[in-house]
């Protein structure tokens, strides 16, 4: 049986994971949503950068690549193959 402190930590960590998962789901967009986002950004004078790749096993090289790509504009759109 869990003691109260350990159980509280487990519950908190579970909620943090769920919250992070929900944040990620909010970032997945349809083509129509992306079209609107890009049009709005461009009308505001923002630069939109796109990239794509296979990120099924995300590693530090991918993160560096995406961070570098993001530096080239205000909004980064990533397509995952």
For the stretch 30-73, pLDDT in tens is 999 999 999 999 999 999 999 998 888 888 998 899 999 999 99
Total domains in the chain come to 2
Residue 19: the pLDDT is 74
Regarding whether 42 and 6 lie in a shared domain, the answer is yes
Instruction: State yes or no: pLDDT of 6 exceeds 70.
Output: no
Please give the pLDDT value at position 31: 92
Is the Cβ–Cβ distance between 49 and 75 less than 8 Å?
Answer: yes
The answer to whether residues 81 and 71 belong to one domain is: yes
Q: Are residues 2 and 40 in the same domain?
A: yes
Distance CA 47, CA 42 (A): 7
Q: How confident is the model at residue 4 (pLDDT cuts 50, 70, 90)?
A: low
Instruction: Determine if the pTM surpasses 0.75.
Output: no
């Amino acid at each position: 049986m869990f003691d109260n402190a350990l159980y509280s930590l487990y519950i908190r960590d579970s909620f943090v994971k769920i919250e992070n998962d929900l944040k990620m789901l909010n970032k997945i967009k349809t083509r129509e949503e992306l079209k609107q986002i890009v049009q709005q950004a461009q009308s505001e004078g923002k630069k939109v950068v796109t990239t794509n790749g296979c990120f099924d096993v995300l590693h530090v090289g991918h993160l560096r690549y995406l961070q570098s790509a993001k530096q080239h504009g205000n909004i980064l759109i990533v397509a995952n193959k």
